[in-house]
Amino acid sequence: MKKLAFDTGWTISRLRAPSTAPSLPAAIPAAVPGNVHLDLLSSRLITDPYLDINEISQDWIGRSAWRYRVAFDWNDEEADRVDLSCLGLDTAARLELNGTLLGEGGNMHRSYRFDIREHLKEGPNELIVDFDSAYAHGEAVRSALGSAADIPANYPGPGNLIRKMACNFGWDWGPSVITSGIWKPIAVESWSKARIAIVRPEITLQGSDGVARLRIEIEWATEGTDSAALVMSIGGKRSEVRIAQGETHALVECRIDNPEIWWPHGLGDQPLYDLDLQLLGSDGAALDRWQRRVGFRSVRLDTAPDDIGSAFTLVVNDVPIFARGANWIPEDCFLPRVTRERYRERIAQARDANMNILRVWGGGIYETDTFYEECDAAGVMVWQDFLFACAAYPEEEPVYGEVEAEAREAITRLMPHPSLVLWNGNNENIWGYFDWGWQDVLANRPWGSGYYLDLLPKLVAEIDPTRPYWPGSPYSGSMDIAPNADEHGCKHIWDVWNEVGYETYRNYIPRFCSEFGWQAPPTYATLTESVREKNRAPASPGVLHHQKATSGNDKLIKGLEGWFPAPGSFDDWLFVTQLNQARAISLGVDHMRSHRPTCMGAIVWQLNDCWPVTSWAAIDGAGRKKPLWYALRNSYAPHLLTIQPRGDGLAAIAVNDATLFWRVPFTIERFDFNCTLLARHSVWRILCDRFENAEISIPKDVATPGNSEREFLRARLGDTEAWWFFEKDMKLQYPEPRFELQAEQIADGVAVTITAQSFLRDLCLFADRISPNADVDDMLVNLMPGESKTFRIKGVSKEAWDDADLSSVVRTANQVAGAARPR
């Protein structure tokens, strides 16, 4: 097979636009893969859509129709077939070659292939790809559906009627930037006799053997008597099957004795095998080739009934896994500019925060192959939603056929990846049907259940029988049980943040929590880069535009009640809301992990952002880590020690997600804020076996304070610490923070040693205040008087440190809570 990639020479032009749209040149250079926004930005015809409130003034882009055009030379070949392969068209596309219509596409999430042999001509050729506005496409689908389109959706726009990334139309963390364009590679492919059309690899473990089983579909170019051979190679083994002319399906498999096993990181290594499939003609000549990297592992979802309800536990290689992770949204609104390096950095940040799973959320995309390849290599498991989110979806044509086509392709494309451990039918739609008033609006019209309960499980069973499927998140396992029940399935917790304080996390003991979160602004550097107002404030126009949640800023302030005073400055607002986010999620994660094995998963909303915004993310839209990231690294550590309410007292819970037993001394002490020791209890050695929790009772004389506003607990299990404060910050009589600083130049930055002279709580260094490219290795540190902590800051010189305003760089909870109260 020969390939001619169309990755240069393109132009775009506007076909139709709203009357308010600005004038443009007749032809604008275009990058492919790419999209219209990026081309306009590259030609300086628009300013950065992420800056200030540019999103609003650029709405015309998504409401316009666009033409992509490329000229190319063609020298006729003797190939039997010539195809145009389009891996990603966003979204309503019409393709012409030399004035002849090739076909149309209406689905961003699938590929298209057109036979163009008879339409090519010797010498110059011209390919045109026209994209209608997504809004116009949505109206056309709405008209075709009639009353079936009058169904609930949580967000404006036709995101539930057309097969396009739903969050393009805006979300409570994302802007409305409606993209168009050729967002994945497009190429001419020439081939003869036969080609490999579809490969479905089933990579399984059976006893001590690994089995690589490939179900193949091939396409023949011409009729005849030729046969072909499929040859598979993996792990030093080779297997071959013959295919007679006209046969289109084949099965080929290899068995690997004692293969190296792929594990989630922290439990073992991630060995990957080169899987090579060749299609050979009857003369032995190579016709086509397919290659992937695969891993051997087993996975199942344990949903067995028990005394509480029913389990929800991922079991990998027969080991029950506590899922510690985050939800993943599209890394950028403009998908083609997400590079392998950016995927690798973000997934490394997840792994470095001790996450073992990412949930690819259903309002985005089936991620690129690069994303899953990086997860394979990093040992980060993937929970993959099918692309339905927060809306009812029509089950009539033309939507149903597109859903089936995209699902078949997505399952087939992603199934080689060992990191992929679960298919999930939708995000919040079953919950919406039961609890958001949909039933009254629907009046018995189809709303998507046919996808989640019938079509999708059938497709997964047919195409990818090696993986579990679950109909929704949240979902209890039965349409007869409330979808967000604690006792069954997976749960979302959103009354916390939206309605109540984060102490309420302790009211729930879910079997698995696949969404929960708390907001905070992005880092200072990210916010100031994207909002260029002179007088920034939480409610100033630019800052507020970068807050998409309904009443989001009000909820940020309400969530501070009892913990911190209302911030009096922009700097204090940034610090206390970011600190409060970290506190909230740590409390939730520690609580859930303390209830293993009843609860077997905590997937926080969310890891990343697609642009600079106040949101629930741990890593902001510029890739900078918020304090939440450091809190998650601590709370997701394989060894966790946490102090939790139990009965009418307190207990220390040791959580061991490591592969070896944990046997170390235990000490818990009660101090006042002068750090005078008031009570102490120790145990010579605590044993916590692997993948288990150990509960350690705290004697009442230690757990009961004399003055709850001036005392705290500090527990140690080996090198692991836990802290307990008897009141919220506003009641705590923290001392004024006092400390010494010493900085020295190191190879890649500055080492800053802070020695406490008073008790310090949640000591943070905000290195991005010194340099936008700076990064600090730790945050949220508690120190007793006389204790020191050395922070390593990359990307900062000693001179820059010495010149910095350290009042905004070095912050503690003491400064904004108890120590700030009138005495």
- Kindly tell me the sign of the dihedral angle through the C-alpha atoms of 472, 475, 481, 482: negative
DSSP-assigned beta bridge partners for residue 358: 326, 382
**Any idea what the Cα angle at residue 765 is, between residues 760 and 768, rounded to 5°?**
160
Among the ranges given (184-193, 219-228, 404-413, 571-580), the one the predictor scored with the smallest mean pLDDT: 219-228
Q: State the CB neighbour count (10 A cutoff) for residue 685.
A: 9
In DSSP terms, 490 is beta-bridged to 475
User: Quick check: helix, strand or coil at residue 712?
Assistant: strand
- CB distance 130 to 65 below 8 Å: yes
The reply to whether omega before 152 is within 30° of 0 (cis) is no
pLDDT over 80 (residue 531): yes
Write out the DSSP string of 523-585: -HHHHHHH---SS--TTSHHHHHTB-STTHHHHHHHTTTTTSPPPSSHHHHHHHHHHHHHHHH
Are both 193-294 and 639-727 of the same fold? yes
Architecture of the structural domain at 639-727: Sandwich (2.60)
725 or 820, greater pLDDT: 725
Coil, strand or helix: which one is 235? Answer: coil
* Six token digits for residue 132: 């209608």
Task: For domain 739-820, give the CATH number.
Answer: 2.60.40.10
Cβ proximity of 765 and 809 under 8 Å:
yes
For tokens 């979204």, the residue is 91
- 44 CB burial (10 A radius; 0-12, 13-18, 19+): exposed
492 close to 484: Cβ distance less than 8 angstroms:
yes
pLDDT in tens, 508-527: 999 999 999 999 999 999 99
Strands in 93-97's sheet, in edge-to-edge order, are 28-30, 10-16, 65-74, 123-131, 93-97, 100-105
Encoded tokens for 603: 């997937």
Separation between Cα atoms, residue 475 and residue 776, nearest integer Å: 39
Q: How far apart are CA 593 and CA 688, in angstroms?
A: 14
Say whether pLDDT at 225 is over 90.
no
Q: Following CA atoms 677, 683, 685, 688 in sequence, which dihedral angle do they give, to the nearest 10 degrees? A: -100
The secondary structure of 46-103 as a DSSP string is: S--TTSTTHHHHTHHHHTSEEEEEEEEEE-----SEEEEEES-EESSEEEEETTEEEE
Confidence of residue 746 (pLDDT cuts 50, 70, 90): very high
Q: Region 335-341: what's the mean pLDDT?
A: 98
Q: What are phi and psi of 488, to 5 degrees?
A: -140, 145
Angle (CA) 727 733 734, round 5°: 105
Report how far residue 581's alpha carbon sits from residue 517's, in angstroms, rounded to the nearest whole number.
8
Cα–Cα nearest to 756, from 785, 791, 717, 789: 785
- Say which CATH class 2-132+163-189 falls into: mainly beta
Superfamily of domain 193-294 in CATH is Immunoglobulins (2.60.40.10)
Give the sign of the dihedral formed by CA 380, CA 164, CA 127, CA 404.
positive
Q: Residue 193 region, left (φ>0) first, then alpha (ψ -120 to 50), else beta?
A: left
The H-assigned helical ranges of 302-453 are 340-352, 369-378, 399-414, 429-435, 438-442, 449-450
pLDDT at 822 (0 to 100): 45
Per-residue pLDDT tens digits for 356-370? 999 999 999 999 999
Q: CA 609, CA 471: separation in Å to the nearest integer?
A: 26
Tell me phi and psi for residue 661, to 5 degrees. Answer: -65, 155
Q: How confident is the model at residue 818 (pLDDT cuts 50, 70, 90)?
A: low
Please report, for the chain, the start and end positions of each structural domain, with discontinuous segments joined by +.
2-132+163-189, 193-294, 310-535+579-634, 639-727, 739-820
The amino acid occupying position 97 is L
Q: Are 510 and 475 a contacting pair, CB within 8 Å? A: no
Q: Do 518 and 525 form a contact (C-beta atoms < 8 A)?
A: no
Average pLDDT, the chain: 96
Say what the pTM is.
Answer: 0.96
pLDDT at res. 821: 52
Cα(62)–Cα(175) distance, rounded to whole angstroms?
Answer: 12
Output the pLDDT for position 76.
75
Residue 378's identity, in one-letter code, is A
Report the pLDDT value the prediction gives residue 823, as an integer from 0 to 100: 41
Q: How confident is the model at residue 162 (pLDDT cuts 50, 70, 90)?
A: very high
Q: What is the dotted CATH code of the domain comprising 310-535+579-634? A: 3.20.20.80
Q: What CA–CA distance (Å, rounded) separates 458 from 491?
A: 24
Radius of gyration of the chain (CA): 29
Q: Which tens digit of pLDDT belongs to each residue from 114-123? A: 999 999 999 9
Percent of the chain residues past pLDDT 90, beyond the cut? 96
pLDDT value for 256: 95
User: Distance between CA 689 and CA 137 in Å, rounded?
Assistant: 58
Euclidean distance between CA atoms 151 and 445, whole angstroms: 8
3-state DSSP call for residue 205? Answer: strand
Q: Quote the CA–CA distance of 157 and 168 in Å, as a whole number.
A: 9
Give the residue from 694, 634, 633 showing the smallest Cα distance to 664.
694
Which residues are bridge partners to 317 per DSSP?
none
Report the sign of the C-alpha dihedral through residues 243, 245, 246, 248, in that order: positive
Mean pLDDT for the stretch of residues 627-654 = 97
* pLDDT over threshold 70, residue 407: yes
The structure tokens 């902590």 sit at: 789
